[in-house]
Every structure is written in structure tokens, then in C-alpha cells.
């Protein structure tokens, strides 16, 4: 009996350790489902039962985009549409984390793949997902065909084949980190063009921010680069937006890989920012882009709606450290 009791005790200890470890370790899930907040479909990235990010795509949407959720599950990114599918808020074609160009030109015509999408327009068609999860991340991998509204002589309407991935994690459970990779292959000669405000990889904060734009502020590196809504530099590293959602405050940082070829940064006080990336491709050319986004809840600004000098310095230091970590990763691949 003593031996049996000791065995039972040991098994209890082991079981308790396993259960405790499972509880402490974040459990990541990826769930495909109808979009609960409007038209189209959704792919949710969930950590320990809480929504962290959501890819939205499909019928009724002009392009795929990634939502990011806040501390209590509130959206910090712009949905663009209400539940009935009607446009909501200022510049509602800006949605979440997204990529696009308003002048995509090939032998199949000219398409605005920034403002428009769906039947009769160029469109991003997700043909399948190969999503994965790990102990500390959830990864959405979308196989996308950029399609024209007509076919060539061989019956193909494909302009670009793309593999788009969002690796979502939560380092130390302190903030949301998203590694966004866009691997594009030209199926024909194509020009990805536009202008500073309508081309590239961008982040758009929730439409609520547009009504509170006097409370937003930016930092970027290199600090010496200045410009009202436009920053020109050959060494863009990162940009960070401070913005309010309800009673909470968040920062969103976008980090740029040196290999992306970025020359210009676009930013607006209503919460949309990103890097301008025009590109001409020949059939068979690849165009691969790597960015990292970090979204974090932060302390309220000390000076009403603006951060104090001490807060700004602390935020600058944090952004620099995270950028160094990002660069270490992309240069080691």
C-alpha cells in the first residue's frame, strides 16, 4: 500500500506539472471561418483563447488585410466596412495591415489594386492556405493569385503569383509581433506603380483614430529625415505611430528590411502609414518584401495627448532595440 500510495503521489506530481506547464505555455490556434464583422471570410490567430490577429479576405472585400486586436479583444485596426458591407469611416479602403498599388499595368490592362477589387477589377484571389502553429506563434500562409478581368491567348488571367505569410507571436506576452513576408513572382511583364499615398505596405489604425487625429504622433528613424506626410531617405529603418482606442493608448511600429528597396515613407495623422514601393518586373522576376510590425498597449501620454520628452526617449529606445532584433533575424536567413 505504501508503494502504491507513493506511485499515485508521483503520478499526481507529474500530472500537475504537465497541466501547469500547459497552462503557462500559450496555446496558439488558427481557425478559418466566415468573417464575423462583415462580408467575406476570416482566418483567426488565437493565443490562449484570445484573438490576436485576423486575416480578412474574399467576396465583398477589395483586398486581403490583417486585423490586429488590442488588450481586451478590441480592434485597433480599421475594418473599412460595417457588418452590412457598407463603407464606414474616413478612407475606408485602408484596412489593417495591407499591400497594394493603385496602378498595376501589364498586357492584360491597367488595374487599381489599392482602392478597388472584385468582379470587373484586378483582384487578389486566395486559392489556398498552408497555415501552421508552434509553441509560441501562429502563422498564416496564403497562396494568392493576382488576377486581371480578362485572359491572355493561353487562357491565363494571372498577373502575379504570391506567397504571403503573417507570423504572429507575443514575445514575453508583452506585445503583438507580426512578421509580414510578401513573396511575389511575375507571371508576365508588370509595373507596380502609383504614388506615395497609394502604393506599398501600410498599417491603418481603427477609424476611431481619424476622429482623434490631434492626439496621434509619430517617430521614425533616421530621425534627421523630416517631412509633412512624406519622408525621403535611402536608409528607412522604422516608423512608429502613437494613437488612442477608447481609453487605451497603443503604438504601432513598422520595421523595414534594407533589402526592400524603400525610398519614401508616407504618414498621415489619421492613422495610416507605410512605405512606398514602386517596381517594374519582367516575367519570371521575383519581388520579395520583409517587414515586421509591433503593436503594444502603452501608458497614456503625460502631456494631455502628447508624450513627455522622457516617454519619447523611452519609446525611441524600445523601437531601436526591436529594429535591431528584426535586422538580426532577416540578415541571418
What pLDDT does 300 receive? 92
Whether 147 maps to a domain, the answer reads yes
Q: What one-character-per-residue DSSP string does 35-93 give?
A: -TTSSSEEEEEEETTEEEEEEEESTT-SS-EEEEB-TTS-B-B---B-TTS-B-STTTT
> 189 and 283 in contact (C-beta within 8 Å)?
yes
What pLDDT does 17 receive? 47
Whether 135 maps to a domain, the answer reads yes
Report the candidate in 37, 3, 252, 41 with the shortest Cα–Cα distance to residue 128.
41
Whether 78 maps to a domain, the answer reads no
Cell of 198: 497609394
What pLDDT does 116 receive? 84
Residue ranges in the chain whose pLDDT is less than 70: 1-26, 118-119, 225, 227, 333
Rounded distance, CA 86 to CA 91, Å?
Answer: 13
- pLDDT tens for 31-49 read 999 999 899 999 999 999 9
Whether 214 maps to a domain, the answer reads yes
The CATH number of residue 285's host domain is 2.70.98
> 225 and 232 in contact (C-beta within 8 Å)?
yes
Across the strands, what pairs with 126?
Answer: 144
Whether 49 maps to a domain, the answer reads no
Number of domains in the chain: 1
Whether 222 maps to a domain, the answer reads yes
What pLDDT does 120 receive? 73
Please count the other Cβ atoms lying within 10 Å of the Cβ belonging to residue 150.
Answer: 8
Rounded distance, CA 64 to CA 201, Å?
Answer: 12
- pLDDT tens for 68-107 read 999 999 999 999 888 888 888 888 888 999 999 999 999 9
Whether 169 maps to a domain, the answer reads yes
**Whole-prediction pTM value?**
0.90
Report the candidate in 156, 140, 301, 151 with the shortest Cα–Cα distance to residue 216.
301
Whether 134 maps to a domain, the answer reads yes
Residue 153's φ and ψ, nearest 5 degrees, are -65, -20
Q: Which domain holds residue 238?
A: 98-332
Amino acid at each position: 500500500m505504501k508503494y502504491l500510495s507513493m506511485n499515485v503521489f508521483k503520478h499526481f506530481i507529474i500530472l500537475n506539472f504537465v497541466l501547469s506547464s500547459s497552462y503557462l505555455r500559450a496555446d496558439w490556434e488558427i481557425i478559418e471561418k466566415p468573417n464575423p464583422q462583415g462580408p467575406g471570410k476570416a482566418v483567426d490567430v488565437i493565443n490562449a483563447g484570445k484573438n490576436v490577429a485576423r486575416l480578412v479576405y474574399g467576396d465583398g472585400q477589395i483586398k486581403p488585410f490583417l486585423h490586429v486586436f488590442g488588450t481586451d479583444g478590441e480592434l485597433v485596426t480599421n475594418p473599412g466596412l460595417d457588418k452590412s458591407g457598407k463603407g464606414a469611416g474616413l478612407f475606408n479602403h485602408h484596412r489593417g495591415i495591407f499591400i497594394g498599388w493603385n496602378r498595376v499595368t501589364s498586357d492584360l490592362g491597367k488595374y487599381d489594386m489599392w482602392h478597388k477589387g472584385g468582379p470587373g477589377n484586378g483582384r487578389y484571389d486566395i486559392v489556398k492556405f498552408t497555415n501552421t502553429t508552434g509553441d509560441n506563434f501562429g502563422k498564416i500562409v496564403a497562396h494568392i493569385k493576382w488576377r486581371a478581368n480578362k485572359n491572355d491567348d493561353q487562357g491565363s488571367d494571372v498577373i502575379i503569383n504570391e506567397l504571403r505569410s503573417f507570423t504572429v507571436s507575443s514575445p514575453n506576452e508583452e506585445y503583438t509581433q507580426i512578421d509580414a513576408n510578401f513573396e511575389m513572382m511575375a507571371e508576365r511583364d508588370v509595373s507596380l506603380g502609383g504614388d506615395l499615398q497609394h502604393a506599398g505596405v501600410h498599417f491603418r489604425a481603427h477609424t476611431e483614430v481619424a476622429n482623434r487625429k490631434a492626439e496621434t504622433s509619430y517617430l521614425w528613424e533616421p530621425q534627421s529625415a523630416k517631412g509633412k506626410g512624406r519622408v525621403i531617405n535611402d536608409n528607412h529603418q522604422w516608423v512608429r505611430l502613437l494613437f488612442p482606442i477608447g481609453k487605451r493608448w497603443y503604438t504601432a511600429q513598422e520595421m523595414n528590411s534594407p533589402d526592400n528597396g524603400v525610398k519614401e515613407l508616407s504618414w498621415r495623422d489619421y492613422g495610416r502609414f507605410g512605405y512606398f514601393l514602386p517596381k517594374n518586373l519582367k516575367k519570371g522576376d521575383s519581388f520579395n518584401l520583409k517587414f515586421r510590425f509591433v503593436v503594444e498597449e502603452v501608458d497614456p501620454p503625460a502631456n494631455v495627448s502628447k508624450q513627455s520628452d522622457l516617454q519619447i526617449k523611452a519609446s525611441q529606445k524600445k523601437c531601436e532595440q526591436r529594429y535591431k532584433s528584426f535586422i538580426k533575424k532577416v540578415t541571418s536567413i
